[in-house]
Structure 1
């Protein structure tokens, strides 16, 4: 019975997948430029775009607002709607593909467990597609906060040696590797395109999505307004404060890691006690 139900569902889902893949050919241009390492199995996203055409499955409401907001920070306001739809199409595509594969595998193996596993993994794929952009944003924010002290200390050295802030910014951003350096290069590009320094720096702060960095950029712009004499002292103070904060964060992470390790150690210890007691009781019964 299980085999028949799973094979019928799997076959229907496979046929629908092929139909939507064919219908989604018009969306191929939307996924063509996506990087495979950031968008796995991107060639099947056209299936998700096809499903999203149906009124009940259209991207809207709270989910659209959340995806669009994350996309604005991660990719810029110009491309926010595009990436919101791409991630939604990814989620729908993964759900359909995994559910189809799980049903066919369950039918082939005549296994109820594979059927339930397929449903579970399909839901995981759906959640992954909808949540992966937020996870990338969180990761980038953490990287930027980790890299900030080094950036500020290098800029402090350059400005104290007589270099103007714009040149120091361009040099640090141009030579560094990492998320914060890439965002600094974006800010440099904005300045070259005619944006004011303060506007580009403020945009940089918002792009990191970090309250700490936004606070730093706001203070930096205030210092810029006070004149060139204030800037070297400000950067030196900020460098010292940021390194101290980084040390505190590392200590907190170390404590959290120790706390996480405590539970497995306790479970292992409990297991050893149970084994010893079981052996002792077995000896007594003999």
Structure 2
């Protein structure tokens, strides 16, 4: 068994080195990647090399899902590139850590050690394929948290007589964080020939938040109605969004309290066990 694991591990290492050599042509593809977002990026050339093998090419449902996720983060222009980067990362990590798992199992002469290594490979693989999804989820939460403040400011500015585009631009410039970055992207789109409606709709889709998409849709309907509808709409939305935010904060507080109960109960149970053990030991040795 030990020799079998060592043989498999050695073959995987040889394949890794071979694909690393073949993949040198892809080095320029990974130079511009952010080191924090894409750790150990220098080995991604292995994955790009594996992708030339039809069995390991990015295709089907996985390709569509990764393209969808990358388009939300990087835009439709770069979605193909980043989808391939994520898949190359996945293949590179799997090749490297799978080899290490078998070598570790052989070194320890233990199937249990191999199982631990394979479990680590699974964790690394899941991380690679879900990292963008988790980033999108976090960004969505951050955007929803900033929405009430932005709408309140927008309501004040529009009620004071400012047109929506100017109010939008002012809020986007003064704010910080991903929500306001997306607002600034919408501003740039307006300057580059997008209609206000298209830019605002694209902003809503970029957040991947149904709450914000619903708001932007209602905002555009209010604009179409004209007259004094927009200030009234913004004031009403501001009030509703703040109420919704308060409810969410209360729910999060309740969840946090429930999570805190678990360690408290475990500590309490531990104390009870210690007391009972001490009492039982005292009774036995009397």
The interval holding the TM-score normalised by the smaller chain is over 0.9
Q: Residue in 2 aligned with 1:40?
A: 39
Check if 1:277 corresponds to 2:276. yes
| Per-residue deviation, 1:105 | 4.1
Q: Residue in 2 aligned with 1:71?
A: 70
| Per-residue deviation, 1:266 | 1.6
| Per-residue deviation, 1:116 | 2.5
| 1:166-222 CA distance string (max 9 Å, x none) | 111111112211111111111111111101000100011111111100111011101
Q: Following the alignment from structure 2 to structure 1, what is the Cα–Cα distance between the partners of residues 189 and 81?
A: 22
Q: Following the alignment from structure 2 to structure 1, what is the Cα–Cα distance between the partners of residues 266 and 60?
A: 44
Q: Following the alignment from structure 2 to structure 1, what is the Cα–Cα distance between the partners of residues 175 and 111?
A: 53
| Per-residue deviation, 1:141 | 0.6
Q: Following the alignment from structure 1 to structure 2, what is the Cα–Cα distance between the partners of residues 32 and 138?
A: 27
Aligned runs of 1:195-210 on 2, under 5 Å? 195-210=194-209
TM-score (norm 2): 0.93
Q: Residue in 1 aligned with 2:229?
A: 230
- List runs of 5+ in structure 2 lacking aligned partners: none
Of 120-129 and 73-82, the range deviating more from structure 2: 73-82
Q: Following the alignment from structure 2 to structure 1, what is the Cα–Cα distance between the partners of residues 199 and 174?
A: 19
| Per-residue deviation, 1:162 | 2.1
Q: Following the alignment from structure 1 to structure 2, what is the Cα–Cα distance between the partners of residues 177 and 43?
A: 32
Q: Residue in 1 aligned with 2:95?
A: 96
Q: Following the alignment from structure 1 to structure 2, what is the Cα–Cα distance between the partners of residues 9 and 283?
A: 57
Check if 1:57 corresponds to 2:59. no
> Considering only aligned residues, what root-mean-square deviation do their CA atoms show, in Å?
1.8
Q: Residue in 2 aligned with 1:183?
A: 182
Contact residue 96 and residue 122 of structure 1 kept, 8 A: no
Aligned runs of 1:126-137 on 2, under 5 Å? 126-137=125-136
Q: Following the alignment from structure 2 to structure 1, what is the Cα–Cα distance between the partners of residues 274 and 90?
A: 45
| Per-residue deviation, 1:22 | 1.1
| Per-residue deviation, 1:74 | 2.3
Q: Residue in 1 aligned with 2:263?
A: 264
Of 113-122 and 255-264, the range deviating more from structure 2: 113-122
